[in-house]
Amino acid sequence: MVADKVLIIGGVAGGASTAARLRRLDEEAEIILLERGEYISYANCGLPYYIGGVIEERDSLFVTTPGDFSQRFNVEVRVENEALSINREDREVKILNHSTGEEYRESYDYLVLSPGAEPLRPPLPNIDSPGIFSLRTIPDTDKIYSFINNNRPKKAVIVGAGYIGLEMAENLHQRGLEVTVVELSPQVLAPVDADMAALVQQYLRSKGLKMHLGDGVKKFNRTEKGNLKVELNGGGIIDTDMVLLSIGIKPETGLASEAGLEVGRGIKVNDYMQTSDPAIYALGDAVEVTHLVTGNPAVIPLGGPANKQGRIVANNIAGRKERYRGSQGSSVLRIFDLTVATTGANERMLAGAGIPYSSVIIHPDDHAGYFPGSQPLALKLLFSPAGAILGAQAAGFRGAEKRIDVLATALRSGISVPDLQELELAYAPPYSSAKDPVNIAGFVAGNILQGDYKTIESAELLKMDKTEQLQVLDVRENSEYEEGHIEGAINIPLGELRNRFDELDRGKETVTYCSQGLRSYLACRILTQHGFAMPRNINGGFRTFRALEQEMQQG
């Protein structure tokens, strides 16, 4: 049975899902949902697409209205009511009704905190100038939408190359604006590794986006004509008509902190989503959870985990004890026609946690090569020396999210690299190959675990003296070599390798490569079995190397 009275602060994914689940468990409980804004449940992931015109009707953004939610679930919904403080001793919350200006107190048996997060706005000069926006809420969306329609801007600067930043870059570009992306990090999309990000960056440049990576904003200025100048740390100046700040978000922990609850990167909770006060639960973008792979505290602001946490909070309040086992950060982004998806940990996270790992990058076709329309899919798998799956990243025009969903399921279920080889996945020529890319990743990773061959990362090779320290062997056909190759590489097509060993120096370490990595893997096996010291194969082949090389030159 649910406690007599449950007070929920904050709606959208976490708070609303908690309220709905609680009502399904108990018809008699008193449930009050406070939301400081006008809307309790809306599709905040859809906001960029409304601005871009993909979602045509504003009303489509609303999952439910306060009236409908209240009627369906018998929950007292109070919009424009903001929680000001929590009195834990008396189990009361001080609340401000923004519509009337009235302050009042509301008691609770259990309190649920779902305050969300707020966009970061660093104290840069003139950051509050007209034409500079953040995007988090419906009112933010309305301001941007109205500005574009009324002012007809021709240029936009996006500050930050995360998910929202790139989605907005696409949607503004689709509306005819010239878009420039400024990102302090040397790459887009922090969840993916640099080698995978390089492939994405190459694609974004091909679509006409301008990018300033590894550079940040120093200040903003408005000109006499009313447009904006964005001055960068590196000295560059960008003329623009509008700016969107997508630098990141900060968990809203003020209410919890002032109430004396434990706060780290977010509101600290245990496995049952309880704060340091057992009568107060917290969830969503505001909380600090455990990363499923690294075991470290993490803030992972995603709608999927927030909804699941809401259900778990409701179950625990109702006496149905259930643990939240941690977040793995599975996410997906569509940017123009390209899909980028991730799950688990990336290299930076693994290195920071001191977890040893290896990786493979493959470029299989997204479906059978003989069926029309197949295109390469970039898939990266990170795994431990024992074969545990630690993370995965994919980028492609079809099927990237499908493969990441399989690997996300495998990661959470404890499936290992050898198990990937045996997964029986749906196959028909328009959708996959008899050996799915997930199977292939398992085969390649398994070869490394079995000691059949070694890899070298493109970033490492780019830093090495390729004439003195080693010999680089290109086993592609002569025509492929002539179209582009690694400087100083020896070109011996795979089919000729056994007859041309005398052209190689057995005293040097050998690095092999082809377009994607398959032919050069075969070359590694040939060389190893003919007495060469075990060569290393470029992880991801020439496709990955060239993308990373070109992006490093851009920087």
Active site residues: 45
Q: Which amino acid is at 246?
A: S
Beta bridge partners of 112: 8, 281
CA distances from 214 to 89, 160, 458 (A): 49, 11, 20
> Closest Cα partner for 244 from 175, 184, 303, 164?
164
Pairwise CA distance, residues 225 & 238, whole Å:
15
Residue 33's Cβ-count burial label (10 Å; 0-12, 13-18, 19+) is: buried
Q: Are 296 and 290 in contact (CB under 8 A)?
A: yes
Pairwise CA distance, residues 102 & 74, whole Å:
24
- Chain-centroid distance, C-alpha 84: 33
Which H/E stretch holds residue 552?
Answer: helix 541-554
Q: Are 4 and 32 in contact (CB under 8 A)?
A: no
Pairwise CA distance, residues 65 & 359, whole Å:
47
Which H/E stretch holds residue 536?
Answer: strand 536-538
Look up residue 39 and give its DSSP letter.
-
Neighbouring residues of 144: CB distance < 8 A, sequence distance ≥ 6: 51, 133, 135, 244
Alpha helices in 191-321 (DSSP H): 194-206, 254-258, 303-317
